[in-house]
Amino acid sequence: MPIVAVTDASRVPDGTACATDLEGLVAHLRAVRPGVDSVLVSHTERGEALARAARLACGERSVGLLHVPSTATAFFASIGAVRLLPQECLGLGGVVASILSSTMWTRVVLSRLGEPGTPVPTFSQRLRGAFPGARFVVDPVSGVVEPTKELVAPQGVIVLTASSAPATRPDSRIDLTAGGAYRYDLDLGSDGWRARRWTEATVLTRQVEDVVHHALQPSSYAYYSTCAVCGRIAWGERCIFCQVPLLVRDDLAVQTIGGIQ
Ligand SMILES: [Zn+2]
């Protein structure tokens, strides 16, 4: 399978190859025919380090590394999109994840702040967190704690959620009705946010198929490069296969696509 996620099976769409240790990742890579491209996709610092180690262990340029820093629910959607890329376009995983990110909305409701991985609370937030029923709405992309107690999701097509144990999830503070007709709950077990009560939600405002289609439109190719070393199509600062910097044309110094038109 060309796309391998560095995470647990409960955090990826059905049928996605994944592993959380070096041995498992190497086994997936060795199951791919020699010379056929595959990409390790991570979203945590530990996952990124594991992916690098697995690539080194296999010693192949046909193994790409794509790091997409994101929460569990956002990463689930990113994996779903990157998996739709045709084999010859795996070097575009970064741009697909980037466009998808610009169309997603993710928020986390936490019962307290200040634990590892959560924003550092202000004095007043620390005081508020000491009271039962305290809730903080966090934008995990900006790290901003929003001044609201209620959370209303934007209009979307799919809602991805993850929560602390059902008895403690602060669902009543979240209105996800506009987020989409289809809702999928991820079970993160004990590996979620560091708070007693928490809920994370990601709303996809566009279908992942539309995002990939947009990235593969002929007009989008003006933003891409060809890696000078391996000749693969690529996007961003480095080729995900060779890890060498890409030559950026002067007139295309900013390699971003402004969302989906
Ligand atoms: Zn390359």
Q: What is the pLDDT of residue 255?
A: 47
pLDDT above 60: residue 251: no
Kindly tell me the burial class for residue 160, based on how many C-beta atoms sit within 10 Å of its own C-beta (0-12, 13-18, 19 or more).
buried
pLDDT above 50: residue 254: no
Say how many Å lie between the CA of residue 227 and the centre of ligand 1: 5
Number of domains comprising the chain: 2
CB 248 within 8 A of CB 239: no
Select the more confidently predicted residue: 150 or 92.
Answer: 92
Coil, strand, or helix at residue 27? helix
Say how many Å lie between the CA of residue 53 and the centre of ligand 1: 18
Span 229-245, average pLDDT: 92
Residues 136 and 64 placed together within one structural domain of the fold: no
Q: Is 94 within the bounds of a domain?
A: yes
The residues near 14 (Cβ < 8 Å, ≥ 6 apart) are none
Residues 221 and 191 placed together within one structural domain of the fold: no
Query: The whole model's pTM is what?
Result: 0.87
Say how many Å lie between the CA of residue 239 and the centre of ligand 1: 5
Q: What is the pLDDT of residue 261?
A: 54
Quote the mean pLDDT of the chain: 86
Residues 31 and 85 placed together within one structural domain of the fold: yes
Say how many Å lie between the CA of residue 59 and the centre of ligand 1: 14
The residues near 97 (Cβ < 8 Å, ≥ 6 apart) are 66, 68, 78, 81, 82
Say how many Å lie between the CA of residue 248 and the centre of ligand 1: 14
Q: Among the listed ranges 1-5, 107-111, 232-236, which one has the minimum average pLDDT value?
A: 107-111
Say how many Å lie between the CA of residue 64 and the centre of ligand 1: 9
Coil, strand, or helix at residue 188? coil
Q: Which residues surround ligand 1, an ion (CB under 5 A)?
A: 227, 229-230, 239, 241-242
Coil, strand, or helix at residue 17? strand
The residues near 194 (Cβ < 8 Å, ≥ 6 apart) are 115, 116, 117, 118
Q: Is 236 within the bounds of a domain?
A: yes
Q: Among the listed ranges 20-29, 199-208, 244-253, which one has the minimum average pLDDT value?
A: 244-253
Say how many Å lie between the CA of residue 62 and the centre of ligand 1: 9
In the structure, what pLDDT confidence band is assigned to residue 259 with cuts at 50, 70 and 90?
low
Q: Is 259 within the bounds of a domain?
A: no
Q: Residue 215: which of 233, 194, 239, 193 has the closest Cα? A: 233
Question: How large is the C-alpha radius of gyration of the chain?
Answer: 19
Token match 């107690």: residue? 149
Select the more confidently predicted residue: 196 or 53.
Answer: 53
Select the more confidently predicted residue: 60 or 12.
Answer: 12
CA distance 44 to 67: 8
**pLDDT 10s digits, 113-155:** 777 677 777 777 777 776 667 778 888 888 888 777 677 889 9
The domain of 21 spans 3-102+208-252
Q: Is 260 within the bounds of a domain?
A: no
Q: Among the listed ranges 123-137, 187-201, 222-236, which one has the minimum average pLDDT value?
A: 123-137
Residues 228 and 193 placed together within one structural domain of the fold: no
